Structure 1
């Protein structure tokens, strides 16, 4: 699990939870905020970075090979190059866990598709489709990619098409890029509540079917 204090303090988690409670008081919609560390796969990055580093170093050596190194390589039949690649691979392995490097090396289109895929997986894993009127809505944030996704169940989507949530996503993404995780969630939850209230107002027996607390995962 992500260290909660890295992105959200307990006080900030409580504020988001309270925002969900307030938003749901006026609607039958069930808002579930979730934050994950990363959605994109990075297993290919170590070898990718290693090859880049190795190639750059080789080009530098070809352009300006020190005499002692040329003799050394000839004597050992290129064995030092194996050691050099091993060092490059180790550097690649370490660098592959740096979020800024991950964002630089993973194409935006891949990030987009993998964030959506992770959001759908979390929707199913957390059984958000189990509400009586199918009124669950997932407010999903993936930290490394700095992207947000909103998934709404069929009870909501028949009233609110996907583009309904674009302004909410844009505002949330702006906050994410500034590192304003809590404020981004609070304002987005509030706006979702307003939209849901207009289409799915609360009834007298407004049962809370899904947890209001923000879900935090790796």
Structure 2
């Protein structure tokens, strides 16, 4: 059997579920909430850092050959033979390869790899993951195309909102800014459930303005918090 995912507490689940139900009581919009530990492994970032480190190491060896030849002499106790140009080039390349492998091995530690990932890349990967999840579980799943996904990626301390066609046509992305700020602030304080609930409340207020609750308004998408 698959292992149950637990990124947040049972209390967080309850807080978010109650917030979604309360928000949807005033709108025909349907809010889906999803939380993930991390959106991407950033393996390519580790490869880039390793390549940059190896290139810099080989460049320094080429720019300051006397210094590195001195290290070579020290290691050989002065008994090493005089290196030819090709032999020296081979040593420089080997030095770069060792440097690449060393950095790559260090960056197998995920927290460091994540810390060295530029913020813009994190934001793009979180957005891409949110869009993928939206297409699978929210897009065109309501009769009025009024589904909206709130996605939180914990380790990146980032979140995103992806709205279905009808909502996107009336609500500009920047309108969700206050909801996102409330979410991220509380996540950084170690309160992911309260952060998502605050965001849901803000989203519900926006949706109620543009998509007020009608007489026939079935609950088409789950209110519960989804963990992946």
The TM-score range, normalised by the shorter chain, is 0.7 to 0.9
Please identify, of 66-75 and 128-137, the stretch whose mean Cα deviation from structure 2 is larger. 66-75
- Residues 32 and 147 of structure 2 are in contact (CA less than 8 Å); yes or no, is this contact kept in structure 1? yes
Aligned to 1:144: 155
Distance 1:86 1:74, change over 3 A: farther
Q: List runs of 5+ in structure 2 lacking aligned partners.
A: 62-66, 82-86
Partners in 1 of 2:52 and 2:171 — Cα distance?
46
Aligned to 2:175: 164
Q: Is residue 34 from structure 1 mapped to residue 34 from structure 2 by the alignment? A: yes
- Residues 37 and 154 of structure 2 are in contact (CA less than 8 Å); yes or no, is this contact kept in structure 1? yes
Please identify, of 130-139 and 170-179, the stretch whose mean Cα deviation from structure 2 is larger. 170-179
| Structure showing greater Rg | 2
CA displacement at 1:37 relative to structure 2 = 2.6
Aligned to 2:141: 130
- Residues 2 and 36 of structure 1 are in contact (CA less than 8 Å); yes or no, is this contact kept in structure 2? no
Q: CA RMSD in A?
A: 3.4
Partners in 2 of 1:9 and 1:40 — Cα distance?
22
Partners in 2 of 1:3 and 1:86 — Cα distance?
35
Distance 1:87 1:132, change over 3 A: same
Partners in 2 of 1:178 and 1:73 — Cα distance?
60
Deviations 1:32-61 (A, max 9, x none): 111223334512234444456668889799
Partners in 1 of 2:79 and 2:187 — Cα distance?
50
- Residues 16 and 182 of structure 1 are in contact (CA less than 8 Å); yes or no, is this contact kept in structure 2? yes
Q: Is residue 8 from structure 1 mapped to residue 8 from structure 2 by the alignment? A: yes
CA displacement at 1:145 relative to structure 2 = 2.3
Aligned to 2:22: 22
Partners in 2 of 1:190 and 1:73 — Cα distance?
75
Q: List runs of 5+ in structure 1 lacking aligned partners.
A: none
Question: What are the equivalent positions in structure 2 for 1:38-53 lying under 5 Å apart?
Answer: 38-40=38-40, 42-50=42-50
Aligned to 1:69: 75
Aligned to 2:208: 197
Q: Is residue 176 from structure 1 mapped to residue 187 from structure 2 by the alignment? A: yes
Deviations 1:175-201 (A, max 9, x none): 222222111001111121122122212
Aligned to 1:103: 115
Q: With the length of structure 1 as denominator, give the TM-score of the two structures.
A: 0.78
Aligned to 1:89: 104
Distance 1:64 1:34, change over 3 A: farther
- Residues 134 and 154 of structure 1 are in contact (CA less than 8 Å); yes or no, is this contact kept in structure 2? yes
Question: What are the equivalent positions in structure 2 for 1:106-117 lying under 5 Å apart?
Answer: 106=118, 108-117=119-128
CA displacement at 1:210 relative to structure 2 = 0.6
What SS is found at the alignment partner of 2:116?
helix
Q: With the length of structure 2 as denominator, give the TM-score of the two structures.
A: 0.75
